[in-house]
């Protein structure tokens, strides 16, 4: 009945309005379809080209020139090193900045300046980070071209994002918890350590996952800070020596050496990793949101 009425109404509309509605509908359909087709096309293409080249030999060996052989184990290790090093430095800095903004800052002007700076940072292109990272960490601080210099550059790049996720979860810690702790005679620092920080763990975790995704995909900032080397090193030695991550290795193989098989294999691995990590981030965000909607979990106030 309702459907019939609607149809009648539609038929009564003047031709011009019907044409407008039809055009808009079709355009929207096509645009949404293009968006879907793009990602599906890229995924299918990269997997079709890359998976045949993925082998245990490729994943578990270092490259050699004589005989010519490609292995990406060093690049995988470098990527892991750079993720670990960046997260270790980034978490205290980003979470600390968020705690300052949410818990300490009283001067609105200071808050505005800090937030403006964070927004500016997230708009700066990665090639500029790479350049300044090279000037500051590699040359001025004397780290030379190394994984550590690359990791520190990435820390600056990803600070705004971990600050934002931590801030958002700090906002959800109920004010009454803080008041309760203050009423029991706890000092500011004790309240933050025992009540506020445990309450923002979810934000920090989400921030870390998001940052890992961005670090895995980053390349321009690493070209001149972490370099192109394919040497296999243990963790601490690796930090101090140059090394290519998976993305940089992909670039070098595709653009400079014409080894497209290896490039596509790396691309397929990167796609799996970034898609996995992005879905994890999306799942975490909705999971934490649900947890908060269900009421603030009790165990967080135990300490």
Piece in contact with other proteins (CB under 8 A), picked from 80-88, 108-116, 196-204, 293-301: 108-116
Residue 274 neighbours by CB distance under 10 Å = 16
Piece in contact with other proteins (CB under 8 A), picked from 17-25, 58-66, 200-208, 287-295: 17-25
Under 8 Å between Cβ of 78 and 65:
no
Piece in contact with other proteins (CB under 8 A), picked from 66-74, 80-88, 102-110, 293-301: 102-110
Give the DSSP H or E segment for 126: helix 126-133
Check residue 303 for interaction with other proteins (CB under 8 A): no
Instruction: Name the minimum Å distance from CB 207 to other proteins.
Output: 14
Q: Which is nearer to other proteins, 30 or 59 (CB)?
A: 30
Q: Which is nearer to other proteins, 62 or 278 (CB)?
A: 278
Torsion angles phi and psi, residue 64, rounded to 5:
-130, 150
Q: Out of 91, 97, 149, 173, which residue is the one contacting other proteins (CB under 8 A)? A: 97
- Which is nearest to 278 in space by CA: 212, 205, 204, 203? 212
Helix (H, G, I), strand (E, B) or coil at 71: coil
By CB under 8 A, the residues from 283 to 302 that bind other proteins are none
Q: Alpha-carbon distance 239 to 148, whole Å?
A: 5
Under 8 Å between Cβ of 89 and 151:
yes
Token couple for 200:
């923002």
Piece in contact with other proteins (CB under 8 A), picked from 54-62, 73-81, 195-203, 265-273: 265-273
Q: Out of 55, 60, 64, 120, which residue is the one contacting other proteins (CB under 8 A)? A: 120
Residue 238 buriedness (CB in 10 A; 0-12 / 13-18 / 19+): buried
Instruction: Name the minimum Å distance from CB 120 to other proteins.
Output: 5
Piece in contact with other proteins (CB under 8 A), picked from 56-64, 67-75, 176-184, 187-195: 187-195
Check residue 35 for interaction with other proteins (CB under 8 A): yes
Torsion angles phi and psi, residue 69, rounded to 5:
-155, 140
Instruction: Name the minimum Å distance from CB 297 to other proteins.
Output: 25
Beta-carbon-side half-sphere exposure of residue 112 (alpha carbons within 13 Å): 3
Check residue 199 for interaction with other proteins (CB under 8 A): no
Residue 127 neighbours by CB distance under 10 Å = 13
By CB under 8 A, the residues from 153 to 172 that bind other proteins are 156, 159-160, 163
Q: Alpha-carbon distance 147 to 81, whole Å?
A: 8
By CB under 8 A, the residues from 64 to 93 that bind other proteins are 92-93
Q: Which is nearer to other proteins, 51 or 113 (CB)?
A: 113
Q: Alpha-carbon distance 260 to 251, whole Å?
A: 10
Quick one: how many helices (H) and strands (E) in the chain?
15, 0
Q: Out of 55, 57, 116, 287, which residue is the one contacting other proteins (CB under 8 A)? A: 116
Q: Out of 80, 89, 136, 272, which residue is the one contacting other proteins (CB under 8 A)? A: 136
Q: Which is nearer to other proteins, 128 or 240 (CB)?
A: 128
Q: Within its chain, how far is the Cα of 12 from the centroid?
A: 52
Check residue 200 for interaction with other proteins (CB under 8 A): no
Q: Which is nearer to other proteins, 10 or 69 (CB)?
A: 10
């Amino acid at each position: 009945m309702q459907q019939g009425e609607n149809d009648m109404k539609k038929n009564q509309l003047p031709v011009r309005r019907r044409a407008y509605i039809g055009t808009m509908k079709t355009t929207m359909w096509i645009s949404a379809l293009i968006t879907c087709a793009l990602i599906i096309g890229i995924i299918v293409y990269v997997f079709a080209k890359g998976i045949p080249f993925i082998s245990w030999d490729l994943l578990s060996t270092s490259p050699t020139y004589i005989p010519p052989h490609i292995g990406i184990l060093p690049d995988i290790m470098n990527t892991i090193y750079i993720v670990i090093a960046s997260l270790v430095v980034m978490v205290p800095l980003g979470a600390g900045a968020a705690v300052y903004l949410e818990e300490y800052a009283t001067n609105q002007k200071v808050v505005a300046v800090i937030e403006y700076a964070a927004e500016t940072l997230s708009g700066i292109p990665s090639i500029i980070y790479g350049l300044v990272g090279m000037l500051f960490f590699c040359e001025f601080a004397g780290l030379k071209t190394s994984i550590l210099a690359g990791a520190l550059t990435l820390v600056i790049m990803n600070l705004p994002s971990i600050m934002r996720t931590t801030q958002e979860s700090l906002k959800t810690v109920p004010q009454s918890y803080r008041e309760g702790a203050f009423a029991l005679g706890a000092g500011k620092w004790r309240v933050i350590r025992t009540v506020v920080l445990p309450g923002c763990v979810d934000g920090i975790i989400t921030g870390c996952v998001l940052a890992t995704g961005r670090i895995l995909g980053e390349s321009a900032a690493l070209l001149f800070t972490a370099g192109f080397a394919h040497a296999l090193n243990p963790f601490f030695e690796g930090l101090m020596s140059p090394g290519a991550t998976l993305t940089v290795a992909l670039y070098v193989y595709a653009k400079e050496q014409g080894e497209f098989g290896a490039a596509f294999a790396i691309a397929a691995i990167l796609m799996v990793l970034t898609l996995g990590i992005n879905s994890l981030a999306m799942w975490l965000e909705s999971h934490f949101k649900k947890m908060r909607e269900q009421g603030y979990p009790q165990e967080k106030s135990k300490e």
